[in-house]
Amino acid sequence: MMICPSCGFEWSYKEDGYNVCSSCQFKWKNDQEEGKVYKDAYGNILEDGDTVMVIKNLKVKGSKDVLKQGTKVTNIRLVDADHDIDCKIPGFGQMSLKSEFVKKV
């Protein structure tokens, strides 16, 4: 049950990702239900398009290469998977990272 921000009516329903008031048909998104909040190793909130820096050396799975501490990664994309960040790293290509190993720049 969500209270309509337009008319104050108590009853609403969900339709196409929006809350819809049963009385006045006003549509709104509930920010608290948006989904997972992604945070870096220091608790800063991450968003799509942010620039982050790797905080420790990371072994690249399937390769003997190491992603060095201090590597900057631009234009990240947040995903709901085992690894939170999809990105393209120069010299490595497309990769997935966990948000706990980066800090927002």
Look at residue 52 in the predicted model and tell me its pLDDT: 97
Look at residue 1 in the predicted model and tell me its pLDDT: 60
Look at residue 63 in the predicted model and tell me its pLDDT: 86
CATH number of 52-104: 2.30.30.40
- CATH assignment of 1-35, given 2.20.25, 2.40.70, 1.20.1070, 2.40.50? 2.20.25
Tens-digit pLDDT profile for residues 29-81 = 775 545 678 899 999 999 999 999 999 999 998 889 999 999 999 999 999 88
- Asked if 50 and 42 touch (Cβ cutoff 8 Å), the reply is no
Neighbour-count burial for 89-103, b at 16+ CB within 10 Å, e otherwise = beeeeebebebebbe
